[in-house]
Structures are given as structure tokens and as C-alpha cells.
């Protein structure tokens, strides 16, 4: 049966794209929820598995190490057998990892099961930009990317909100079942593009040498390294930090209130992920939107953490979430805006950016912020502020290209 489409801005736009983005949203939501349930149940996880802050951080972020290792190979494999099949394989393996996690009893079993779950993260992150470019061509890509990123934040918000209240073992079982359902949904509903994947099935390894010469691409990779490091550090420690007597001016928040704030912040990330990229697309400029958002995040986190007023803290973290929601999809779409990154290079560019963003999620919280902070939550959030400033400074180095993909 032929798919219906309309022609907008000179390109075919298929109605079935909404089914594709719905699949991506659901998968991203469930996958992120499965990974970040550890952050929502941080105190319970550390107690149950006898983890110190660094051990906890390693277990929470190791899935992103998998994503870093398998990012480029996942893109290369998709070139050979198609994105749909790679995603089915990745989700099936992640489901097995989630089942393994149900039976985890110590640091190593939790660490290794989380590592296996990261296979789906690698497949999704490496191929999301290619998939969105196919189904949401031209200026519509920013809309698709905003919805896709919103799926992750909805999953994070749900996991963090529920983490304080649910039985950890039961939560692991439910999340394993949900990942299995996602595998079936993707297999049944995520069809190949009717015009083929010729525009995105490029030989990734052949083009990797070409894209590595792009200064602009390395800037986008550094941005995603910092952004994902920031996201994992903040999501992983916010609940534990706010409930600690040593955190947030010694207020020692109620765990329910702290989880509610972290969950609401992630909802605000979803809202910002739709609104702020749309603003950038409307003005057709990236830097005037991205840079103020990054420095605004630094200011809001500083006020939130050091003011000692719970109402102000709550409001500032929510506003920071909106800005964070805009920063993530804008940074992820930057490779497609670069004039020296052609459509046939998007697989290599996406794989390289995916590798860097997953490395940031693994390295920054576990091997930079946490060791330097030594378990001091004020120092951890000082690190969050510094990361926001660095994101803004690196944003200055990006050469303005407009907000429409360069070769469309």
C-alpha cells in the first residue's frame, strides 16, 4: 500500500512520519526510564547494592559507555542491513540486559547488566539523526528532534518520580517488560522509508576520515560531550543532594518533594525541547538562542543551589529544565547544519557525535565531577554550573550556519 505524502518546501513529507516519531518517542522514553530509574531511587540503590557515590555513578552511567563503544559500529551496521533491523537487535539485547538486572545482587551484576542495556542506546543514538532526516526533511527536522528528545525527558521524569515510591525489584521487572514491548512495537510499526534509505545508507567508515576533518563537527561533538555529562550528573545526584543535610543550604528536603522537583524539571526539559528549537528555526539562527540558554542555565543552577530558599530553588530548577530542553536538540541537529557535512556523511557524523555524547555521559559524572567532589554535593553542583558555562563558551566557537539543514 502506497504511503500518502504532501510536498512542502519542495520535498516529500510522508504522513507516516508521525508513526515513526511516535515509535522513537516511546522507545526513547522507556529506554531512558529504564536507565535513569537508578537516579530516582538513588538512596535505595546505594543501600541495596552497598554502593558509594562513585560506584553508584558508574552503574548509572555505564550504559553510555556501551553507547560510546558501539556508536560508530551501530551506524555502520545500519548501512548494511538497515536502521530498522539494527534497532530490533539493539532493543532485544537491551531487554535481555534488563532481565539480567532483575537478578542483580551486587555492584558487578548491576554494572554488567546496565552495560548490556546500553546496546539499544548505541543503536538509537547513532541512527536517530539519519532516521529523522529521512522522515522530517529540511526545516521539519528540528520539530522531529524536539519530539524525539522529549521522549527521553518524559522517561527520565517518570523514572525519577516513581523511583522514591516503588519497590526496586518490581520496577526492574516492569521496565524489562516495557523494553520487550518496545522491541515488538518497533518491529511491527517502524517501516523503512518508501523512497529507500539511499540518502542515509552511506559507508560510515569510508566517510569517517572525511568528517573528522570538519572543525565544526568536533565543536558539536564537544558540546554533546559536555551536555550529556551535565545531564547525567544533575539527574543522577539531584534527589540525593537535595535530601542530604549537607545539601542546598542544609534544608534537607523531604525525599518526595526532591523527587517531585527532579521529575518536574524533566517535564520542563520536554517543553523546552519543543519550544526553543522552534524559536531557533523561526529566526533561522542558532547562536543567539543557544548561547543565552547555556549561560542562563549556569545562573539558574547557581541561584537554585546557593539561595537556601526552597521556593526559589524549585522555580529556578524548573526554568533551567526549559533551557536545557532547548540546548540538547539544537546541539544534536548541528552536524546537519554544517556546509561541509553532506547528506552522505550524516551516518559517520552521527556516529561520531553519538560516541562523544555517550563518552561524556560516562566520563564526566564518574571520573571528573564525582572524584573531584569527594561526595560533597555542593562541589558536585558547582561542577554542574561550570559545565553550563563551558557549554556556552564552546557555543561561541560554533560558526553560525542558520537553522536549516545545509544541503536541503
- Please tell me the distance from the alpha carbon of residue 79 to that of residue 73, in angstroms, as a whole number: 10
Segment among 67-76, 91-100, 138-147, 272-281 with least mean pLDDT: 138-147
- Higher pLDDT: 252 or 148? It is 148
CA distances from 264 to 155, 163, 221, 269 (A): 12, 14, 28, 9
- Please tell me the distance from the alpha carbon of residue 139 to that of residue 195, in angstroms, as a whole number: 19
Residue 163: all three cell numbers together: 523511583
- Please tell me the distance from the alpha carbon of residue 20 to that of residue 7, in angstroms, as a whole number: 18
| Residue-averaged pLDDT of the chain | 85
Domains for the chain: give ranges and CATH numbers: 10-397 (1.20.1250.20)
**DSSP per-residue letters across 33-66:** HHHHHHHHTHHHHHHHTT--HHHHHHHHHHHHHH
Q: Kindly tell me the number of DSSP H helices and DSSP E strands found in the chain.
A: 15, 2
Would you state the pLDDT for residue 28?
94
pLDDT in tens, 153-171: 888 888 877 877 788 999 9
Identify the CA nearest to 221 among candidates 358, 327, 356.
356
Identify the CA nearest to 135 among candidates 243, 33, 265, 3.
3
- Please tell me the distance from the alpha carbon of residue 353 to that of residue 359, in angstroms, as a whole number: 10
Three-state DSSP state, 210: helix
- Supply the pTM of this predicted model: 0.80
CA distances from 84 to 77, 183, 190, 255, 320 (A): 11, 11, 7, 41, 35
**Residue in the structure block whose three cell numbers are 571528573:** 368
Would you state the pLDDT for residue 171?
92
Query: 66-70, 148-152, 246-250 — which one is most confidently predicted on average?
Result: 66-70
- Higher pLDDT: 268 or 248? It is 268
pLDDT in tens, 35-91: 988 877 888 898 899 988 788 888 988 998 898 899 888 877 887 788 889 999 999
Element (H, E) at 294: helix 287-306
Element (H, E) at 302: helix 287-306
- Please tell me the distance from the alpha carbon of residue 160 to that of residue 261, in angstroms, as a whole number: 9
pLDDT in tens, 323-357: 998 899 888 888 877 888 776 677 677 778 888 98
Would you state the pLDDT for residue 60?
86
pLDDT in tens, 280-319: 878 878 899 999 999 999 999 999 988 878 899 999 999 9
pLDDT in tens, 159-207: 877 877 788 999 999 999 999 999 999 999 988 777 766 544 455 566 6
Would you state the pLDDT for residue 199?
46
- Please tell me the distance from the alpha carbon of residue 159 to that of residue 175, in angstroms, as a whole number: 10
Would you state the pLDDT for residue 247?
54
- Please tell me the distance from the alpha carbon of residue 159 to that of residue 110, in angstroms, as a whole number: 17
Amino acid at each position: 500500500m502506497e504511503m500518502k505524502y504532501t510536498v512542502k518546501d519542495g520535498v516529500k513529507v510522508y504522513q507516516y512520519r508521525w508513526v515513526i516519531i511516535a515509535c522513537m518517542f516511546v522507545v526513547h522514553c522507556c529506554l531512558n526510564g529504564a536507565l535513569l530509574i537508578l537516579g530516582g531511587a538513588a538512596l535505595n540503590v546505594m543501600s541495596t547494592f552497598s554502593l558509594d557515590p562513585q560506584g553508584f555513578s558508574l552503574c548509572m552511567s555505564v550504559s553510555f559507555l556501551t553507547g560510546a563503544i558501539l556508536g560508530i559500529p551501530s551506524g555502520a551496521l545500519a548501512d548494511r542491513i538497515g536502521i530498522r533491523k539494527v534497532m530490533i537487535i539493539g532493543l532485544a539485547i537491551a531487554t535481555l540486559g534488563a532481565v539480567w538486572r532483575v537478578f542483580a545482587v551486587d555492584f558487578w551484576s548491576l554494572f554488567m547488566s546496565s552495560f548490556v542495556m546500553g546496546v539499544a542506546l548505541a543503536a538509537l543514538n547513532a541512527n536517530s539523526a539519519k532516521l529523522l532526516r529521512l522522515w522530517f526533511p529540511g526545516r521539519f527536522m528540528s520539530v522531529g528532534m524536539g519530539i524525539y528528545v522529549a521522549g527521553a525527558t518524559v522517561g527520565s521524569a517518570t523514572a525519577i518520580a516513581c523511583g522514591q515510591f516503588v519497590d526496586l525489584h518490581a520496577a526492574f521487572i516492569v521496565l524489562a517488560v516495557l523494553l520487550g514491548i518496545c522491541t515488538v512495537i518497533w518491529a511491527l510499526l517502524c517501516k523503512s522509508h518508501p523512497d529507500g534509505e539511499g540518502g542515509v545508507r552511506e559507508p560510515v567508515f569510508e566517510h569517517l576520515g572525511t568528517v573528522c576533518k570538519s572543525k565544526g563537527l568536533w565543536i558539536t561533538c564537544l558540546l554533546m560531550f559536555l551536555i550529556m555529562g551535565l545531564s547525567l550528573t544533575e539527574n543522577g545526584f539531584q534527589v540525593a543532594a537535595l535530601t542530604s543535610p549537607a545539601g542546598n543550604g542544609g534544608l534537607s528536603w523531604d525525599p518526595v518533594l526532591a523527587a517531585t522537583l527532579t521529575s518536574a524539571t524533566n517535564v520542563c526539559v520536554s517543553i523546552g525541547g519543543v519550544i526553543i528549537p522552534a524559536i531557533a528555526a523561526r529566526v533561522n539562527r542558532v547562536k543567539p538562542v543557544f548561547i543565552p540558554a547555556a549561560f542562563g542555565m549556569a545562573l539558574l543552577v547557581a541561584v537554585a543551589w546557593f539561595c537556601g530558599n526552597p521556593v526559589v530553588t524549585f522555580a529556578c530548577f524548573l526554568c533551567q529544565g526549559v533551557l536545557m530542553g532547548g540546548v540538547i536538540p539544537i546541539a544534536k541537529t548541528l552536524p546537519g547544519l554544517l556546509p561541509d557535512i553532506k547528506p552522505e556523511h550524516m551516518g559517520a557524523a552521527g556516529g561520531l557525535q553519538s560516541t562523544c555524547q555517550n563518552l561524556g555521559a560516562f566520563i564526566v559524572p564518574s571520573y571528573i565531577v564525582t572524584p573531584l567532589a569527594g561526595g560533597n554535593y555542593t562541589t558536585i553542583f558547582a561542577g554542574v554550573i561550570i559545565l553550563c558555562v563551558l557549554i556556552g563558551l564552546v557555543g561561541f566557537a560554533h560558526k553560525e550556519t542558520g537553522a536549516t539543514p545545509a544541503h536541503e
